[in-house]
């Protein structure tokens, strides 16, 4: 599931679109996406650029991809990879247990749930697999360069082999365009659209209770839909009668725990999106029932957490349930 690495350039000439619309981070918010698309004055020759992060955290990642595929039958669509699509690739590859953990702890459980059958088997339809395979890193149309997180170099200097990781992960500040180039991106959530002379940030934190936002980049006209999300942490165990269970993965993912003014280092023995079994890297025993906080995946796209210690085994391993 390796995204395309071809460079998308049109020699600086503006294509004759009837509107170029960019849409920020969606994160599984299908209902908001469909409502937003109904608001846009789209025509057959309109271009819609999706800035990545279609999946994870929100309730309907599969539905978001299905919506984008449907839109391709109506107008021109460019879909770019975000860091969450890259983490899905790492999860499906499965060769690096820490990167598998990074996906799970960054809301990947919601995506797994949306693609799971009643027995918990993950089944990604061929059309959706093709969609993920063909995501590009950036797209240039006239004076606009579209990318998920930002540009570490000028447009003319982009080499995705060197810069692809930064283009989906970098924050908080993108390298602004030069001359007339404007960088249009998402990734770093804000309550409002951020517009400067050479950059536009369209991540307005829909999955965190904010809004999902689109902009026609030439006119700067903005359309938004308020978040309807009530529970962004959808789990694979989705009801008392469901056979779908939270999947547990083996592997050593670093965990840093803050407790009573101390910073303690652990690593996981196994984990799911709702809890961890972890061993301490020094002699320590946290009390059962203690509420702890910290960071999972230090150095690998860190995820902060709060949890409660359920038990401590005789060999020192701590079972911690993650709190929403």
- Nearest by Cα to 56 from 118, 138, 115: 115
Separation CA 200–CA 277 (nearest Å): 42
Query: 20-226 belongs to which CATH class?
Result: alpha beta
Percent of the chain whose predicted confidence (pLDDT) is above 70: 85
**Cβ–Cβ under 8 Å, residues 55 and 28:** yes
pLDDT, averaged across the chain:
85
Q: Is the pLDDT of residue 248 over 60?
A: yes
Q: Which residue has the higher pLDDT, 13 or 83?
A: 83
Q: Specify the pLDDT at position 175.
A: 59
Which range scores top for mean pLDDT: 24-28, 91-95, 168-172, 264-268?
24-28
Delimit the domains of the chain by residue range. Answer: 20-226, 249-323
- The answer to whether the bond into 237 is cis (omega within 30° of 0) is no
Q: Return the bridge partners of 305, or none.
A: 294
Mean pLDDT of 132-145: 95
DSSP string, 7-32: ----TTPPP--S-EEEE---TT-HHH
Q: Is the pLDDT of residue 203 over 60?
A: yes
How confident is the model over 301-310, as pLDDT tens digits?
667 888 899 9
Chosen CATH of 249-323 out of 2.40.10.220, 3.30.420.40, 2.40.10.10, 3.40.50.300: 2.40.10.220
- Nearest by Cα to 47 from 7, 79, 16, 75: 75
Rg (CA), the chain: 21
């Amino acid at each position: 599931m390796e995204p395309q690495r071809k460079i998308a350039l049109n020699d600086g000439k503006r294509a004759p679109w009837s509107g170029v619309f960019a849409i920020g981070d969606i994160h599984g918010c299908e209902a908001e996406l469909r409502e937003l698309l109904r608001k846009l004055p789209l025509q057959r020759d309109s271009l819609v650029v999706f800035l990545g992060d279609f999946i994870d955290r929100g309730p309907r990642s599969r539905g978001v991809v299905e919506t984008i595929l449907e839109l391709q039958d109506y107008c021109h669509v460019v879909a770019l990879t975000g860091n969450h699509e890259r983490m899905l690739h790492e999860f499906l590859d499965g060769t690096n247990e820490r990167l598998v953990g990074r996906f799970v702890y960054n809301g990947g459980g919601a995506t797994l749930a949306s693609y799971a059958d009643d027995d918990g088997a993950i089944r990604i339809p061929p059309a959706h697999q093709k969609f993920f395979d063909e995501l590009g890193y950036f797209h240039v149309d006239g004076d606009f360069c579209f990318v998920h997180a930002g540009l570490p170099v000028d447009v003319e200097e982009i080499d995705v082999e060197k810069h692809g990781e930064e283009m989906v992960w970098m924050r908080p500040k993108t390298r602004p365009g030069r001359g007339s180039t404007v960088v249009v991106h998402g990734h770093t959530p804000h309550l409002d659209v951020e517009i400067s002379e050479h950059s536009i940030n369209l991540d307005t934190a829909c999955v965190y209770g904010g809004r999902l936002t689109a902009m026609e980049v030439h006119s700067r006209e903005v359309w938004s839909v308020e978040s309807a999300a009530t529970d962004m942490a959808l789990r694979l165990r989705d009801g008392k009668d469901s056979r779908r269970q939270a999947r547990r993965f083996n592997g050593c993912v670093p965990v840093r725990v803050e407790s009573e003014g101390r910073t303690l280092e652990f690593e996981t023995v196994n984990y799911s999106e709702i809890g961890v079994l972890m061993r301490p890297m020094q002699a320590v025993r946290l009390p059962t029932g203690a509420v702890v906080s910290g960071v999972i995946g230090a150095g690998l796209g860190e995820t902060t957490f709060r949890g409660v210690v359920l038990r401590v085994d005789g060999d020192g391993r701590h079972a911690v349930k993650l709190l929403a």
